[in-house]
Homo-oligomer: A and B are copies of this chain.
């Protein structure tokens, strides 16, 4: 009974047309052109490598797409249990009429060719979106992205700021900043003015969020301009900064971003908890991990200082979800945002989703985002989430609390679609 109920709820949830509030889509090439774009997603390359395939086999210079796919497919029998390979098989069934339930050395070539043909059609991008129930897609744009040459009503710009906060000491970052803004950063004040130009540009181009990913050790306290001026001088002189100095710079830049979010009304997406390049010989994008010893208490000054800035927050460690639930329950400006990366598997989504639906105000939850690099992944990833959501609504709300199915679906609509519109001012 519970299974049938969940299926019924899923079917209704699946009819919603959604906005995907965080992706890495390239709006100039949003869809895949061969199966190598699909199997080249870091989930497959890193899992293939983890299960035994040499990095050199995957990242061989000049490797043609078809050979690459062939090598990765050979590894899939070791990965068929993973939810990521489940996404893969289902998307092949959904988009390419793939009839098997495993991708093997015997059946991949035919699929490769079928997919290539489909993807070559000029309507492919539209078809994927339509078949995925997605109508708008948030991007992740470098701060110096000109934001031109694409339909910004479909692909919503979002200002990504990791480089500014953590890599300002690199001359290349400052050069890009100077080029993008016309401001030559000479100290804290010019940095603020350059950041102001970035925000103006992004807002003008329709950006709906500022975003950043943060390491577990980061604590964004307020740093005044005069506290950081000597560190800035040393940075500009190319000196090697102490950990304290580079921390001061990072906190100053971060705080400046938050001030501009307050000014422009952009929500500030915080993705908390990633350590970069932990596995140094890992494949591209398959090197990052985390340290679960992180707390949102590190953000208390920020949340207090910017009551008017909305902070949609993603946490990498599942053990951080309870803090996220509690902070969103107390702070008006803290919003729960999707299920990120290593937490984005059904076992953890279920626990996290249940707690959020039981304790965070309904208007402060963004159910899900795909985090995808290619459009074809929106459908299987959202599908995974919707299945968990349908189960939680069935068990906890319809059966557990005696809600009508309509009321449960109203909650699903709000967290999956309505809140994305209100929180990111899409109206």
| A residues whose Cβ falls under 8 Å from a Cβ of B | 1-3, 46-47, 49-52, 78-84, 86, 101, 275, 278-282, 286-297, 300, 303-304, 307, 317-320, 322-323, 325-332, 342-343, 345-348, 351, 354-355, 357-364, 387, 396-397, 399-403, 411
Contacts and interface: CB of A to CB of B under 8 A. Distances in A.
A83 B297 contact: no
A280 B304 contact: yes
Contact of A289 (B46, B288, B330): B330
A325 B342 contact: yes
Contacts of A387: 400
B82 A359 contact: yes
A346 B400 contact: yes
B347 A83 contact: no
A403 B90 CA distance: 13
Given A322-B348, A342-B322, A51 B361 contact: yes
A104 to B, nearest CB: 13
Contacts of A286: 330
8 contacts: A3-B399, A46-B329, A46-B330, A279-B331, A289-B326, A292-B319, A346-B400, A348-B355
A83 B347 CA distance: 22
Contacts of A343: 322
B278 A358 contact: no
A330 B279 contact: yes
A358 B329 contact: no
A84 B50 CA distance: 36
A347 B396 CA distance: 9
Contacts of A399: 3
A332 B290 contact: no
Nearest to A81: B362
A293 B291 contact: no
B400 A361 contact: no
Contact of A322 (B52, B303, B317, B322): B317
Contacts of A282: 330-331
B329 A318 contact: no
A61 to B, nearest CB: 21
Contacts of A292: 295, 319-320, 322-323
Nearest to A319: B319
Contacts of A82: 358-361
Given A279-B331, A281-B304, A359 B295 contact: no
Contact of A78 (B81, B345, B363): B363
A329 B283 CA distance: 12
Nearest to A1: B3
Contacts of A345: 355, 358-359
A281 B295 contact: no
Contacts of A289: 296-297, 300, 323, 326-327, 330
Contacts of A50: 328-332, 361, 364
A47 B307 contact: no
A117 to B, nearest CB: 27
A425 B402 CA distance: 40
A369 B414 CA distance: 34
Nearest to A305: B280
Given A83-B359, A358-B345, A323 B290 contact: yes
Given A50-B328, A322-B292, A330-B282, A358 B81 contact: yes
Nearest to A80: B362
A320 B79 CA distance: 23
Interface centre among A2, A81, A330 (most CB of B within 10 A): A81
A287 B303 CA distance: 12
Contacts of A359: 82-84, 342, 345
A297 B290 contact: yes
B52 A363 contact: yes
A84 B326 CA distance: 13
A81 B355 contact: no
